[in-house]
Structure 1
């Protein structure tokens, strides 16, 4: 076997994927600090030195996993929030998408959400920016619902944080042997979310006064 063949084998992109998958599982199960580079390499079926061919350090590997995971969630939220329909339909789509993602990808979701403090300050800042972008995308939908009078959310940002926590926490406890499929769970989560933000007794809320409105939607629109 030539040196070039060995180098090509070690830098094969599939090896990078194997390392990421092994690291994700190990971080989710044991935590970042309890996982060694040898653990990751062994799980990937590679030599201990293999990790350093693709990543500068174990922390760099966690950063890549976290960055890519958050970017995927951000795009997912953007797509869902841009769906057709009013604020209720759009919020339902967002919650379904987030809940399903955190159930279907619970291993990587545990890692990217619960190991963020193991990153460097600069890495945390980058991931924090992505998390804020996700928050603002969902918050915009909540604010649209408040403005339309179909959501009662005195503090849209806090409301959004609560709704996001509902979805993110699924990754902490969800396993494949649970009695609910990701689809069933995501549908239920969307119902819970909508019930949490809808005015009581189906009343519409005036966005300016925070009081039940007696005007129809068309009347409110006509005065804007």
Structure 2
């Protein structure tokens, strides 16, 4: 899933296409140089636009970061909604969600690094908006862990700490992942899905 280019630019008006180009350029610049070291000129050059054009579409560099961060976390929530099936066993639900979560952070590791590791550069109100999305992601995954505890499938002393650990592992993939010397994203997802089921002490009912 792509934080920036999930819509087809050919179906959008020119201003929207310009915004998408700027968001893509900002994501790449922030990932390469960090938010603080990136200038609006860097972003404009990456989008092949003038520096003044940045301010036609965004009030500040921070607003670009916020839009990337909000979109990135919203995509994760949408992904959980798409792959999670409450009708199946908690162990399968957990493996599916953690696998998809990790696969996303591997596949979109460049933008995911920005979305997860530049939060301190957001304005307070923007940070709170993104943190609420993060809390909702955590709530969704913890609900699966709690369901497994309640039906006796999982042996977990602290569901919140366990949930935080699983999500932190998946997020951290974006920090170190490099396609040339890592497992493919799908395999990375499967590997972390298995780790998640081990972390909850999955019990064999046979």
- Which segments of 5 or more consecutive residues in structure 1 lack a partner in the other structure? 1-9, 205-215, 217-224
Segments ≥4 residues shifted beyond 2 Å: 78-84
Distance 1:39 1:137 in 2: 37
Query: Residue 26 in 1 paired to residue 29 in 2?
Result: yes
Distance 2:187 2:123 in 1: 37
Q: Deviations over 1:67-94 (max 9, x none)?
A: 0111001111222233541000000000
Deviation of residue 16 (structure 1)? 1.0
The alignment yields a C-alpha RMSD, in angstroms, of: 1.7
Query: Residue 187 in 1 paired to residue 190 in 2?
Result: yes
Deviation of residue 203 (structure 1)? 6.0
| Counterpart position of 1:169 | 172
TM-score (norm 1): 0.83
- Which segments of 5 or more consecutive residues in structure 2 lack a partner in the other structure? 1-12
Query: Residue 90 in 1 paired to residue 93 in 2?
Result: yes
Question: Which secondary structure state, in structure 1, belongs to the residue aligned with residue 167 of structure 2?
Answer: helix
Which entry has the higher C-alpha Rg, 1 or 2? 1
Distance 1:77 1:66 in 2: 17
- Asked if 2 retains the 8 angstrom alpha-carbon contact of 1:28 and 1:108, the reply is yes
Deviation of residue 15 (structure 1)? 1.3
Deviation of residue 11 (structure 1)? 5.3
TM-score (norm 2): 0.89
| Higher relative contact order, structure no. (Cα contacts within 8 Å, ≥ 6 residues apart) | 2
Query: Residue 64 in 1 paired to residue 70 in 2?
Result: no
Query: Residue 133 in 1 paired to residue 136 in 2?
Result: yes
Deviation of residue 12 (structure 1)? 2.7
Query: Residue 16 in 1 paired to residue 22 in 2?
Result: no
Question: Which secondary structure state, in structure 2, belongs to the residue aligned with residue 169 of structure 1?
Answer: helix
Distance 1:161 1:77 in 2: 16
| Counterpart position of 1:123 | 126
